[in-house]
Amino acid sequence: MPLSRGAHVRLLMALLGIPVAGFVALLYGLQLPRLLYGKTDAVFLALECAGLLAWAALVLRLRSRLAGSPEPGGFYRDVLDFFALARWHPAAIFGLIVLLVVPFAWFALANRWMFTMFASLGRRALALGDVQSALEGFAVAYQHGLTAGTPLLFVYHLACRRWLTGRFLPWLLLPLLFAGTAVGVVITVTMAHFAR
Confidence of residue 71 (pLDDT cuts 50, 70, 90): confident
> How many Å apart are CA 143 and CA 189, to the nearest integer?
10
Look at residue 3 and tell me whether its pLDDT is greater than 70. Answer: no
Maximum separation of any 2 CA atoms in the chain, in Å: 64
Q: Give pLDDT, residue 60.
A: 93
Q: Give pLDDT, residue 127.
A: 85
Confidence of residue 178 (pLDDT cuts 50, 70, 90): very high
pLDDT digits (tens, 9 = 90+) for 97-125: 999 999 888 888 888 888 888 888 888 88
**181 Cβ partners below 8 Å, 6+ apart?**
99, 145, 148, 149, 152
Is residue 157 within 8 A of residue 89, CB to CB? The reply is: yes
Q: What is the chain's alpha carbon radius of gyration, rounded to the nearest angstrom?
A: 19
Task: Say how many C-beta atoms besides its own lie within 10 A of residue 8's C-beta.
Answer: 14
* Most confidently predicted of 66-80, 83-97, 114-128: 83-97
Task: Say how many C-beta atoms besides its own lie within 10 A of residue 124's C-beta.
Answer: 11
Task: Say how many C-beta atoms besides its own lie within 10 A of residue 175's C-beta.
Answer: 10
146: nearest Cα among 88, 95, 191, 112: 95
132: nearest Cα among 196, 47, 40: 40
Domain regions of the chain by residue span? 1-72, 88-196
Q: Of all residues in the chain, what percent carry a pLDDT higher than 90?
A: 41
Is residue 185 within 8 A of residue 148, CB to CB? The reply is: yes
DSSP state of 29: T
Confidence of residue 159 (pLDDT cuts 50, 70, 90): very high
